[in-house]
Structure 1
């Protein structure tokens, strides 16, 4: 089976057009994160990775009222601004000094 150059180029153009459409859809989905009042919503997994804490610690922060959350259809979400406020209030910055160089 042999196809000529013109037909091959036409098929390649169609394929590239389809890839462009898929790329646009992926970008739309990526930038259309859940928001509330214009603030991005994060789920449990996002918070666990961001704060590098265990699920139990996150549950403790919720229970104590330190970290506000929203329950939507049984799933928990946190506003990004609330998380930043929580970090500022609860995690005091430590300055880590670099190790001394040995001579």
Structure 2
């Protein structure tokens, strides 16, 4: 299946605008996101929502050699 280059570029532009809206909403939420060495730490709930996976699936990701690190009582990607 082939799509027109112009259609694809238009679609990508709309996608980028929507992603920018999501980022702005997160930035405007007033919730401070903790940082570790300048990188945002995300809790399991946020990671599950971002990846659109269940908590169980998220628990199996380390078995697949993904890089994780932990803090007391929390697991972060």
TM-score band w.r.t. shorter chain? 0.5 to 0.7
Alignment correspondent of 1:50:
50
- TM-score, length-scaled by structure 1: 0.42
Shift of 1:47: 0.7
Aligned length: 49
- TM-score, length-scaled by structure 2: 0.54
Matched, 1:76 2:70: no
State the structure with more CA Rg: 1
- Off by >4 Å, runs of 4+ in structure 1: none
Structure 1 regions of 5+ residues with no counterpart? 1-25, 79-103
Structure 2 regions of 5+ residues with no counterpart? 1-28
1:23-44: CA deviation from partner (whole Å, max 9, x where unpaired): xxx84xx2x3111110101111
